[in-house]
Amino acid sequence: MNHATETRKPSLLTVEDAKQMSVADTAEAFNHHMNPGQYHFLKLLGFHEVLIDSAEGMYYTDRNGRKILDFFGGFGSLACGHNHPRILAARKQFQEELRHEIAIAFMSQYAAALSSNLASIAPEDLDMVFLGSTGSEAVEAALKLAEQVQGPERAKIAYATHSFHGKTRGALSVTDSEFYQSGFHLIENRVRVPFGDAAALESLLAGDTAVGILILETVQGGAGIVGAEPGYWTEVRRLCDRYKVIWIADEVQCGVGRTGKFFAFEHFGVCPDIVTLAKSLGGGKTAMGAMIARRPLYMKAYGDPKTALIHGPATFGGIGEACCTAIEALNVLYDENLVENSALSGAYLLERLQQVQEKYPKILKEVRGQGLMLGIEFQDFSQTLVPGLKQLVSVLDNRLKGSLCGFVGSLLLRKYDILVAFTEYNRNVIRLEPPLIVSREQIDTFVNALDDLLSRGVTRIVADYARNAIRPG
């Protein structure tokens, strides 16, 4: 008797099937197997009608051949733009040469080269690199390393108001958001300090010797592009030295040239003890995160054979093609002067946005930021929308109510084929983090579209949004 059981192949979609999926089929699979609540928001914004078939440089192209100008940039993940030809070529060559991916048994020349590149870019003795896949993973690695160095007596973590560091448990514990945190068991050994307030930091560190770790975004992205005064950072360095606190700079969003320097902290002439990177490190083609630590800290925590394996290697840490992609992305960044372009184009975009803000002060409260990490803050209309519109909008969705950003972002896509980003903590802020390859003409296209839209006035913007949102289909 034959006991071999036959494994029947379930009904699986092929890659070709995936490529051919319609908007409706994609929506159905998304709703049934991914995130129906998120679909609700995509629908509110009109993003649910768009199925992207390809992307190149500054543009997405959808199923109908419509080109969408990308000023969102994957929250800063696309420094080199979409599908940069040099990055594609490096990946293709890697595949054709049948290079190995998993770097857990043997050393990987790609992981080693990427680590040494990051050490060359990073100042002072930020020389030791841990490679992972995401920003959260880089933050976890940083927090764990700092805890190992400080020991249990000094493992209390200070983090900032309105911070965002990720959604894994450690990163979430230092993310200042009840919305993300509630219902989860978090690291208890932590304390919150006001962002940008050196006096508050000093009184915390002077009064609580258990605080041995400080984590700060150099520019707060999730808070709506919020920076601190330059003097704050010199104080952070001085205080961390004085009280022997390990300073972790989370540059997952603001690093890799985003603000016009490779690291945002370089604007202030200071250097943290550990820095985290992700997003654009993957060249817009892959998931890549990194933690870079000062050598003495790393050596103290994991520097000998007994401790070397405590936090690494991870199964997919330093995976081949991702490292190869990141190596090429870093070379592209410098060869094409993208960090300089970020500074120059960012200054131009900010100046043009300031002109728009001066033209519509009743609609726009402030424009701010540095390099190509800019925020447009709208006035708060939650209390002032004319009653009829307020009611209509609240029927559509409570979370968009009074936030002109949602309406403006939705209309920028629907009417002008431009994509922008929203903000978790402050729904009155639109975030602009376009690829660092953006040209003056593309900046003009964006600013002119915004100007044209705002010239319609608040009531017509909301009415236009509502008309589009309740359109059948």
Ligand X SMILES: Cc1ncc(COP(=O)(O)O)c(C=O)c1O
Is 243 one of the binding residues for ligand X (CB under 6 A)? no
CB atoms < 10 A from the CB of 43, how many? 15
For residues 370 and 374, give the distance between their C-alpha atoms in angstroms, rounded to a whole number.
Answer: 6
Q: Shortest distance, CB of residue 354 to ligand X, whole angstroms?
A: 25
Q: Which stretch binds ligand X (CB under 6 A): 42-50, 128-136, 200-208, 450-458?
A: 128-136
Q: Shortest distance, CB of residue 136 to ligand X, whole angstroms?
A: 3
Please name the residue ranges forming H helices in 250-337.
295-302, 320-335
- Which of 154, 162, 165, 267 binds ligand X (CB under 6 A)? It is 165
- Which of 115, 253, 280, 403 binds ligand X (CB under 6 A)? It is 253
Q: Shortest distance, CB of residue 235 to ligand X, whole angstroms?
A: 21
141 vs 198, beta carbon nearer ligand X: 141
252 vs 292, beta carbon nearer ligand X: 252
Q: Shortest distance, CB of residue 470 to ligand X, whole angstroms?
A: 32
For residues 156 and 210, give the distance between their C-alpha atoms in angstroms, rounded to a whole number.
Answer: 6
DSSP letter for 216, please: E
Which residues, 184 to 223, sit near ligand X by CB under 6 A?
217, 221-222
356 vs 405, beta carbon nearer ligand X: 405
Sorted by sequence, the CB contacts under 8 Å of residue 48 that are 6+ apart come out as 23, 27, 39, 42
Which residues, 35 to 94, sit near ligand X by CB under 6 A?
75
Is 227 one of the binding residues for ligand X (CB under 6 A)? no
Residue sitting closest to ligand X (CB): 135
108 vs 175, beta carbon nearer ligand X: 175
- Can you read off the two tokens belonging to residue 388? 């009829």
421 vs 450, beta carbon nearer ligand X: 421
For residues 389 and 378, give the distance between their C-alpha atoms in angstroms, rounded to a whole number.
Answer: 18
Which residues, 365 to 384, sit near ligand X by CB under 6 A?
none
225 vs 449, beta carbon nearer ligand X: 225
284 vs 402, beta carbon nearer ligand X: 284
First to last CA, the chain: 58
For residues 381 and 379, give the distance between their C-alpha atoms in angstroms, rounded to a whole number.
Answer: 6
Is 317 one of the binding residues for ligand X (CB under 6 A)? no
Q: Coil, strand or helix: which one is 372?
A: coil
Which residues, 104 to 123, sit near ligand X by CB under 6 A?
none
For residues 172 and 15, give the distance between their C-alpha atoms in angstroms, rounded to a whole number.
Answer: 35
Is the alpha carbon torsion for 111, 112, 117, 120 positive or negative?
positive
253 vs 442, beta carbon nearer ligand X: 253
How many residues are there in the chain?
473
- Taking CB atoms within 8 Å and a gap of at least 24, the contacts of 453-460 are 453/408, 453/411, 453/412, 453/415, 453/416, 454/356, 454/359, 454/360, 454/363, 454/364, 454/408, 455/360, 458/362, 458/363, 458/381, 458/385, 458/404, 459/386, 459/389
Which residues, 135 to 164, sit near ligand X by CB under 6 A?
135-136, 139, 164
Binding site for ligand X (CB under 6 A): 75, 134-136, 139, 164-166, 217, 221-222, 250, 252-253, 278
